[in-house]
Amino acid sequence: MVARWAHNPKVVGSNPTPAIFMNRILIILGSKEEEILKKRVSLAKKISEKFFFSNVILSGSNGEAEKMEKLWGKDALLEKASLTTRENLLLSKIFTENGDIITIVTDCTHKFRTYYLAKRIFPQNRIEIYTVNLPLKSIVSKILYEVSRLIRNAFE
């Protein structure tokens, strides 16, 4: 018996499809609360041990990006102008391309709105959201805030 070819060289189009390399982009969203910021960066470090990211974006204003940079301790792009989650993502978009895998680190109360905004801002990209847990007392107040912001974002 003769070994078989993986494809038939005489038939046009019978070659296997070449692998497509997609960049992974990591966006860590800032927080005014230092403990949440530390948790987000810590989770991002764990994720970066599993995947290679072509760009890491630390996104937040009022010193958040700089604090994350110290905690991160590696090369990263700082996005320091954004005041809202929507702006975090819009201003991070310049560092991405269509087809990139966008990985975002935030907290559990922020996940739904972050995903909603990311799908609007990065429609050609796969979105992955990783979240840190918060204490129960923080969750109640943050959920009310998130619902109000989601309603506002729906009309922007």
The rounded distance, in Å, linking the Cα atoms of 84 and 147 is: 14
CATH number at residue 124: 3.40.50
Q: Determine, yes or no, domain membership for 113.
A: yes
Mean of pLDDT over the chain: 86
Q: Determine, yes or no, domain membership for 10.
A: no
Q: Determine, yes or no, domain membership for 60.
A: yes
Give how many domains the chain has, as a whole number: 1
Rounded to two decimals, what is the model's pTM? 0.80
Q: Determine, yes or no, domain membership for 43.
A: yes
Q: Determine, yes or no, domain membership for 7.
A: no
Q: What residues make up the domain containing 57? A: 24-154
Query: Which tokens hold the place of 14?
Result: 């019978």
Give 73's Cβ-side CA count (13 Å radius). 7
User: DSSP class of residue 93?
Assistant: G
Query: Each residue of 37-56: pLDDT tens digit?
Result: 999 999 999 999 999 999 99
